[in-house]
Structure 1
Amino acid sequence: MIDARILLLGGGNMGSALLGGWLEKGLSPASVTVVDPAVGPALQPLIDKGVGHRTAVPEGDFDIVVLAVKPQMMTAAVPPLKAAMRPETLVVSIAAGTTVAAIEDLLGPHPVVRAMPNTPALIGRGITGAYGNERTGEKDRDAAGQLLEASGPVEWVGEEALIDAVTAVSGSGPAYVFHLAECMAKAGEALGLPADLAMRLARHTVAGAGELMIRSDDAPSQLRKNVTSPNGTTQAALDVLMGEDRLALLMEEAMRAARDRAEELAKG
Structure 2
Amino acid sequence: MAVILGCVFYSMNGLFISRIHDMAISPVIFYRLFFGLLFLFIYIVARGKTSDLRLKKKKRSLFLQGVLVVTCMLLYFTCLKITCVSIAILLQYTAPIYVMLASPFLLNEKIGKESIAALFVAITGVFLIVRPEGGLSGIELTGTYMLGMIAGLLSGVVFAALILNVKVLKEEYPELAIVFWPMGIAFLLLSPFAFEVSPAVLYSNLKVLAAFGIVSIGFGEIFTVLGLANLKAQTGSLLSLIEPVSGVFFDTAVLGIALSSETLAGCALIMGSAVIISLNDSKKLPEKGVKERPRTF
Same fold (TM over 0.5): no
Structure ranking higher on relative contact order (CA contacts 8 Å, 6+ apart) = 2
- TM-score category, normalised to shorter length: under 0.3
* More helix per residue: 2
- Normalising to structure 2: TM-score of the pair? 0.25
More strand by share: 1
Instruction: Give the TM-score normalised by the residue count of structure 1.
Output: 0.28
Which structure has the larger Rg over C-alpha atoms? 1
